[in-house]
Amino acid sequence: MYKEISVPTKLFAALIILWSLAGSAAAGPDENAVRDLLHSTFDKPEAKLDVAPVVAVSGYAIAGWTQGETGGRALLRNRNGRWAIILCAGDEIRNAEALRQAGIAPDVANALAQALAKAEQTVPADRLAMFARFEGLVRMDEAGNHPPVHDRAH
């Protein structure tokens, strides 16, 4: 009839369930909204954007992205419930000092830089190298667009 399940088997099953729930809950609404914005802005039929990791802290987010053979990071701000891209860069926006220079409060800049460093620990080295390929720091306009003189592909 029914066979009793051993305690180790029950514990293993519980760990599997908790692990799967933790994985699905890892991305919150801010991270998903950032991904959606970047995809809707930069996806092309022939070149889909791959966005990960995304970290969000106190109304600011940083998203790593790759598209084809290039990549970079986007810094975003949430104003009145809407995310907008502030700037695009490579490694330049990985540290708290650069985030402070971009106008982010010191405590938020520190927390954002720490969250990014932690998230990027699991990113493969070849993907991190693609993020670094974006040269310079490109500020975005109020609508989240690159300035007209900038024609760098995402």
For the chain, what are the domain ranges?
28-139
Residue 152 has pLDDT above 80, yes or no: no
Let me know how long the chain is: 154
- Looking at residue 137, its pLDDT comes to 87
- Looking at residue 4, its pLDDT comes to 57
Answer positive or negative: Cα dihedral of 94, 98, 102, 103. Answer: positive
pTM: 0.77
Average pLDDT, integer, range 123-132: 97
- 146 vs 19 pLDDT, higher one: 146
Residue 15 has pLDDT above 80, yes or no: no
- Residue 148's pLDDT band, with cuts at 50, 70 and 90, is low
Residue 20 has pLDDT above 80, yes or no: no
**In contact, 104 and 93? CB cutoff 8 Å:** no
Report phi then psi at 87, rounded to 5: -160, 160
Q: What whole-number distance in Å separates Cα of residue 96 and Cα of residue 111?
A: 8
**pLDDT tens digits for 41-96?**
999 999 999 999 999 999 999 999 999 999 999 999 999 999 999 999 999 999 99
**In contact, 101 and 94? CB cutoff 8 Å:** no
Average pLDDT, integer, range 144-153: 50
Residue 25 has pLDDT above 70, yes or no: no
